[in-house]
Structure 1
Amino acid sequence: MKPGNIRPYRAVLFDFDDTLIDTREALTRVSEHWYATRPRENRPPTEEEFIAGLQVTNSEQLSLRDFYVRMLEIWPGCFPSVEAALEAHSVAVPDCVSVDRGTEVMLRDLKVAGVPVGVVTNGPTEMQWAKVRNAGVADLVRAVVVSEEFGANKPDPAIFHHALSLIGASPAETLFVGDNTVADIGGASGIGMRTAWMSHGRSWVIDSYSPDHVVDDVWDVRPLLGI
């Protein structure tokens, strides 16, 4: 902690996808992998054209299933079905995931400062754990809670309370950082946590609740945590 700073929060919980990691970048990498390795029949003429057709804008809330539906529309025959694509994705995507240097430094600084840090992520157990480990995050936080493994998805209050118990913190003293307006910000604020919304250039449009902080980059969370 910087000299003279009073840390406003004693602990922090992070969402994983599109908060600690850039999911869009990972999708681009895995798409490049498919372009190079899948059967070439009906393949778009260039990798650039293929990737451009798959680009997800910041305003889109596109599920992984929707992403592969779009892929098969652009490239019929890339996979025999959406289900087959999703199964292949769960194996390939962990190798395409990384955290940027700034995020890694922030997590290391929080660990050195003794700030309890955890990750709460929705998704399949095996895939999410592989992503967290491959990104190097597992060794930098006190707890990782994956929705399938726990048995409830964000915004269910139970998953937040479980994560808090693992890092030894209360809602009132913990900041939650995430990009999803409902699962992250709605869920965390609903149990009394303060929240920081990763806006990714979006505007807040919900009237019934709002984040305590809006950040454009996870690095912007540092001053909120007194580091």
Structure 2
Amino acid sequence: MAVRAVFFDLDDTLVRDGAEEAVRRTARALAARHGFGADDILAANVEAWQQGWASLGDSWMRGPLSDDALPRDIWRRTLERYGQGDRSLVDEAVDLHLSAERVTFTPFEETAEVLDALRARGVAVGLITNGPAQFQRGKLAAAGIRDRFDLVVTSGDLGILKPDVEVFRHALAGLDADAGGAVHVGDDFAADVEGAVRAGMQAVWVNRTGAAPPKVDVPHHDGRSLRDVLAVVGEGGLSRPR
């Protein structure tokens, strides 16, 4: 069946995940402003991030929490571990972090090229991403690709996360697309590849490092670049699934 719709994951698929760099920039800025030790702040942030994600990560991505709830919790934990728990300092750290993310979440060099090429071929283009609705849409705006999608679906919109098949079915319905004529593209094998295949879609695994697939019995196309998606669409589907 000819490919009529292509859906993309966002983080580490269309844009680089700039969270770690945003943390480094925030730590350096706090150090410069207040005479703190940037390396010590970064060390405190490692465990704080793990604890914050375990506590709030799932709820944050499902949508009931504010966009800044997770970074605020992580920076509160970080600064408390560093011995600086003042609320105004936490507010400052969150503002610095969110400002840094608007710069560090950048598109891969081929992202706009591939999205524009698909649209030029008459293929509908959608986004399916896990994360708070406004937060994820903000990344699209920061990366300069917000207007290149016919549909944007976030887990925050629905309250459910990939790889739940209902996320993919909702996206397919939004573009009035048949699963057999649709492709989903993403870097997370479980969330993007397995989820899409269970929904009856074709899948492209964005495997920039050339890693071995976690499972060998899930049909997919192994792509080193987003440009490989254009070949899949040109072939009308996955002629050589792996």
The TM tier, using the shorter chain, reads: 0.7 to 0.9
Which of 195, 199, 203 aligns to 2:212? It is 203
Shift of 1:196: 0.8
Shift of 1:198: 1.3
How far did residue 65 of structure 1 move?
A: 3.3
Instruction: Give the RMSD, CA atoms, in angstroms.
Output: 3.5
- 8 Å CA contact retained: 1:197, 1:211: no
How far 1:176 sits from its partner (Å)?
A: 0.8
Listed as ranges, the gaps of 5+ residues in structure 1 are: 1-6, 55-61
What is the Cα deviation at residue 130 of structure 1? 0.5
Structure 1 length normalisation: TM-score? 0.74
Distance 1:171 1:76, change over 3 A: same
- Alpha-carbon offset, residue 192 of structure 1: 0.6
Q: 1:203 is aligned with what amino acid?
A: A
The question of 1:27 aligning with 2:19 is answered: yes
Distance 1:44 1:218, change over 3 A: same
- Alignment map for 1:22-171 (pairs within 5 Å): 22-23=16-17, 26-38=18-30, 39-44=34-39, 65=53, 72=78, 76=82, 89-90=97-98, 92-171=100-179
Report Cα offsets for 1:100-138 as digits up to 9, x if no partner.
332111111111221101000001122111001221222
Q: Which runs of 5+ in 2 are unaligned?
A: 55-70, 236-242
CA contact (8 A) 1:12 1:175 kept: yes
Which residue of the other structure, out of 6, 9, 13, is the alignment partner of 2:3? 9
Question: Is residue 128–residue 153 contact of structure 2 (8 Å, CA) maintained in 1?
Answer: yes
- C-alpha distance in 2 between matches for 1:134 and 1:79: 31
Q: Comparing both structures, which one devotes a greater share of its residues to helix?
A: 2
**Would you say how many aligned residue pairs link Structure 1 and Structure 2?**
203
Q: In the aligned structure 2, how far is the partner of 1:10 from the partner of 1:214?
A: 20
Partners in 1 of 2:179 and 2:222 — Cα distance? Answer: 19
Does structure 1 conserve the Cα–Cα contact (< 8 Å) formed by 2:193 and 2:220? no
Alpha-carbon distance between aligned partners in 2 of 1:182 and 1:216, rounded to the nearest angstrom: 17
Q: Which stretch shifts more, 160-169 or 116-125?
A: 160-169
- Is the Cα contact below 8 Å between 1:9 and 1:225 reproduced in 2? yes
Other structure's SS at 1:205 match: coil
